Amino acid sequence: MANLPILQFEEKIVETVEKNSVVVIIGETGSGKSTQLSQILHRHGYTKSGVIAITQPRRVAAVSVARRVAQELDVPLGEDVGYAIRFEDRTTSKTRIKYLTDGVLLRESLSNPMLDDYSVIILDEAHERSLNTDILLGLVKRLVRIRASNFKVLITSATLDGEKVSEFFSGCPVLNVPGKLYPVEILYSKERPVSYIESSLKVAIDIHVREPEGDILIFMTGQDDIEKLVSRLEEKVRSLAEGSCMDAIIYPLHGSLPPEMQVRVFSPPPPNCRRFIVSTNIAETSLTVDGVVYVIDSGYVKQRQYNPSSGMFSLDVIQISKVQANQRAGRAGRTRPGKCYRLYPLAVYRDDFLDATIPEIQRTSLAGSVLYLKSLDLPDIDILKFDFLDAPSSESLEDALKQLYFIDAIDENGAITRIGRTMSDLPLEPSLSRTLIEANETGCLSQALTVVAMLSAETTLLPARSKPSEKKRKHDDDSNLPNGSGYGDHIQLLQIFESWDRTNYDPVWCKENGMQVRGMVFVKDVRRQLCQIMQKISKDRLEVRADGRKSSSRDDYRKLRKALCVGNANQIAERMLRHNGYRTLSFQSQLVQVHPSSVLSADNDGMMPNYVVYHELISTTRPFMRNVCAVDMAWVAPIKRKIEKLNVRKLSGGPAPSFKVPEEKTELSKNNAETPAVSENVESRIEAARERFLARKGQK
DNA sequence: GAGCACTGC
């Protein structure tokens, strides 16, 4: 601790903070900014008038940094120094230094918009540009203006972004604190390789044979490439002549590995053995692997993007930014001087790479964030002109308003409704919040809580797809898991949880049925949290069966599907006349299909339900709806009328010229001769189709 | 008939 570079700047930092409300700190890796800034300000009296809050984009970071600071100050964790993350608040009224995730601070600002418990707010790792940190930047800028002079803001950022943040805060001072990294030699390829798997393989084996000891970290884009490279490396290492070089262990590292596989990289290798770690960008920031001396950087990353006009997500392999490239290189210099092999030429780095990664706020659906901002009721703030460091497109903001309007969170003038206010109390995506509120009205809240919790945990629920036996979980005939009773995935998720519930939450049941124990326990936690919030909101005394051992009935399913329809009014699709493709109704109409992993299947006549709601549109090999639920046409009708009446201009508070959603004759019609021209009379046409289908079937 | 990087309330 004594040698941390930041401590040499203590005087300078304190002096600058004293004179300015906002200060940007450029602190490179190893500078100690996350643990020391709070202590420096504490030593100089900034905890006398309030608490120092330090936000982190990740839960583990908030906990581990708080723990370190408590140790350094020699106080018990949770008293003078504490942390707050979802499900876990380890602070008391005594707490002076509080580490928390950016999401928790946003939640706090709902109940205390002035955040006046805090004398100082430090937004750490702001260069990562998480959605929540970006919103906090805007809110904090406003608070600096409103709150008296006893409020200080510090923002930590990366070299390439510092000036920009400073400009955002009217040219506030920028302090540079050097890191404690060893020099890293950067080596560029002459040209982009044809196959970066083969190229990484060659470079890695070269290092292994020629270079002194030290682990090799290789950045790839995803699980598939990682597995390919791992097996190629294993092959190659085996074929090297015995005794010609040291031993090697090869580890894959990515998010869908079970935690016990991930932590293997933290145990030191046996002597005279080199480790190869083939990783996604999880090793860029989230996990730090000690002992790495060589980094191989493919120059690519897989990134999730959102298209606001189609409502569709996609995962694309794209070029990394300069900030990311430098972050990756830095991973080689933590223990001693290292080398970074970039599989691209210098000119590509210099001319093609963006300076910084496109912030999340410009790549995701903003429905939740816009609702959050609306619920703050800031009189001086117009959402569409909210002061963002990097503003999202107006198209993206209008998309958010449109979605919120479809699910009744805002009215036709864009004002937040009573329902919208209630929704913002729930830590969920808007469509899930809306589902819960509707379910509370119609008497299926218990079931809705389960489904919503299951959906929020979905990524941690399913096992990694490497086990072939579990690949077809949903369609295996010998699987004991319920099948959704013909209504689709939401009902199946409900049934799965109820099955587990009946075993009294037996972990063995999870293993036998291919569900991750950790994921299911998370579902239980989320469900409990949501249940507590709904207890406060509920109009009647809530009877939520938390541990009822009884299965839901068909009638329950029906109520639940109806609530899901209201909650997903922004995510409805109508089946095509003669085949089982669907067209989306709430966005620019597009042809989509039910994802093959869905349990929703065709009826005896070979036809899928006429209407479905979906949880997510994702474009992979083709556009798919993931997690679908069959709904009745009668429930869809009023929503369709609302969609037709939509006036986006009015929603965004502008004048109200007529604005018609392109409803028909879209791309879809061009590509597909079977597309119905108008969607009136759908019923009769579907009936006709069914007859034709049956006739064909009869002929065979 | 497909398979998804990483976070968070």
- Identify, with chain letter, the residue nearest to nucleotide B2 (CA–C1'): A596
If one counts every other C-beta atom within 10 angstroms of the C-beta of residue A385, the result is 11
Q: Please report, for residues A60, A159, A166, A642, the alpha-carbon distance to residue A34 in angstroms, rounded to integers and kept in the order given.
A: 13, 16, 19, 49
Q: State phi, psi for A485 to the nearest 5 degrees.
A: 50, 30
If one counts every other C-beta atom within 10 angstroms of the C-beta of residue A641, the result is 9
Distance A461 CA to B6 C1' (A): 17
Shortest-distance nucleotide from A226 CA to C1': B5
Task: Give every CB contact of residue A37 below 8 A, 6+ residues apart in sequence.
Answer: A6, A13, A25, A54, A122, A154, A156
| Domains, chain A, ordered by start | 5-177 (3.40.50.300), 184-358 (3.40.50.300), 363-424+634-653 (no CATH), 442-567 (no CATH), 572-631+664-699 (no CATH)
Look at residue A545 and give its three-state secondary structure: coil
If one counts every other C-beta atom within 10 angstroms of the C-beta of residue A533, the result is 16
What pLDDT sits at residue A573? 95
- Identify, with chain letter, the residue nearest to nucleotide B7 (CA–C1'): A58
Residue A312 has pLDDT above 60, yes or no: yes
Chain-centroid distance of CA A387 in Å reads 23
Distance A244 CA to B2 C1' (A): 43
The model's pLDDT over A21-73, given as tens digits with 9 standing for 90+, comes to 999 999 877 788 889 999 999 999 999 999 999 999 999 899 999 999 999 99
Q: State phi, psi for A328 to the nearest 5 degrees.
A: -65, -45
Shortest-distance nucleotide from A225 CA to C1': B5
Distance A341 CA to B1 C1' (A): 40
pLDDT level of residue A474 (50, 70, 90 thresholds) = very low
- Identify, with chain letter, the residue nearest to nucleotide B4 (CA–C1'): A315
If one counts every other C-beta atom within 10 angstroms of the C-beta of residue A94, the result is 11
What pLDDT sits at residue A463? 57
**Residue indicated by tokens 């997690």:** A627
Shortest-distance nucleotide from A465 CA to C1': B3
The tokens describing A288, both together, are 């730090």
Shortest-distance nucleotide from A60 CA to C1': B7
Q: Please report, for residues A148, A198, A234, A259, A435, the alpha-carbon distance to residue A276 in angstroms, rounded to integers and kept in the order given.
A: 54, 15, 10, 19, 47
- Identify, with chain letter, the residue nearest to nucleotide B3 (CA–C1'): A465
Instruction: Give the type of residue at A411.
Output: D
Mean predicted confidence (pLDDT) in A510-528: 87
Residue A613 has pLDDT above 90, yes or no: yes
Q: State phi, psi for A416 to the nearest 5 degrees.
A: -65, 140
pLDDT level of residue A469 (50, 70, 90 thresholds) = very low
Distance A196 CA to B6 C1' (A): 22
Distance A282 CA to B6 C1' (A): 7
Shortest-distance nucleotide from A529 CA to C1': B9
Nucleotides of B under 7 A from a protein CB: 1-9
Distance A236 CA to B9 C1' (A): 46
Mean predicted confidence (pLDDT) in A262-288: 87
Distance A221 CA to B6 C1' (A): 12
Distance A595 CA to B1 C1' (A): 9
Share of chain A above pLDDT 70, in %: 87
Distance A465 CA to B3 C1' (A): 7
pLDDT level of residue A553 (50, 70, 90 thresholds) = confident
pLDDT level of residue A242 (50, 70, 90 thresholds) = low
- Identify, with chain letter, the residue nearest to nucleotide B8 (CA–C1'): A103
Distance A337 CA to B9 C1' (A): 40
Shortest-distance nucleotide from A61 CA to C1': B7
Mean predicted confidence (pLDDT) in A384-404: 89
Between residues A242 and A688, the one the model is more confident about: A242
- Identify, with chain letter, the residue nearest to nucleotide B1 (CA–C1'): A596
What pLDDT sits at residue A154? 95
- Identify, with chain letter, the residue nearest to nucleotide B5 (CA–C1'): A302
Q: How buried is A666 (Cβ within 10 angstroms: 0-12 exposed, 13-18 middle, 19+ buried)?
A: middle
The model's pLDDT over A407-429, given as tens digits with 9 standing for 90+, comes to 999 999 899 999 999 999 999 99
Distance A451 CA to B7 C1' (A): 22
Residue closest to A572 by CA, chosen among A614, A602, A622, A633 = A614
Distance A684 CA to B4 C1' (A): 39
Shortest-distance nucleotide from A87 CA to C1': B9
Shortest-distance nucleotide from A475 CA to C1': B1
